[in-house]
Structure 1
Amino acid sequence: MSTRVPSRQLTGVHVLLMLVAFFGIVIAVNVTMMKLAIATLPGTEVDSAYSASLGYEKEIAAARDQDGRKWEVGAHIERLADGAAVLQVEARDNAGRPVTGLKFEGRFERPTDKRADLAVTLEEVGIGIYRGQIEAIAPGQWDLVLEGDAKGRRMFLSKNRVVLN
Structure 2
Amino acid sequence: MTTKTNSARPITGRFVLITTVCFFSVVIGVNLLMARLAIATLPGTEVDSAYSASLAYEKEIQAAHEQNARGWKVGVHLERQPDGNATLILDARDSAGAPLTGLVFSGQLERPTDRRADRPLHVVEDSRGSYRGTAQSVAPGQWDLVIQADGEGKRLFLSHNRVVLN
Aligned CA-pair RMSD: 1.8
Distance 1:7 1:158 in 2: 74
In structure 2, what is the Cα distance between the partners aligned to 1:88 and 1:105? 12
TM (normalized to structure 1)?
0.93
CA distance in 1, matches of 2:27, 2:130: 60
Matched pairs, number: 165
**1:104 and 2:111 matched:** no
Return the alpha-carbon distance in structure 1 between the equivalents of residues 49 and 13 of structure 2: 54
> What SS does structure 2 have at the residue aligned with 1:62?
helix
Helix, strand or coil at the partner of 1:22: helix
The one-letter amino acid paired with 2:161 is: N
Within 1, Cα distance between the matches of 2:43 and 2:163?
21
Corresponding residue of 2:42: 41
Compute the TM-score of the two structures, normalised by the length of structure 2.
Answer: 0.92
In the TM superposition, what is the alpha-carbon distance from 1:47 to its structure 2 partner?
1.5
Give CA-to-partner distance per residue, 1:45-96, whole Å, 9 cap, x none.
2111110000011101111110010000011113322121110111100111
Q: Shift in Å at residue 42 of structure 1?
A: 2.0
- Name whichever of 1-10 and 111-120 sits farther off: 1-10
Aligned-pair identity (%): 58
Structure 1 segments unaligned to the other structure (5+ residues): none
Aligned equivalent of 1:13: 14
SS at 2:149 equivalent:
strand
Deviations 1:118-165 (A, max 9, x none): 111200010111111112211111110000001430000000111101
Give the counterpart letter for 1:138 in structure 2: A
Q: Which residue of 2 aligns with 1:146?
A: 147
Which runs of 5 or more structure 2 residues have no equivalent in the other structure? none
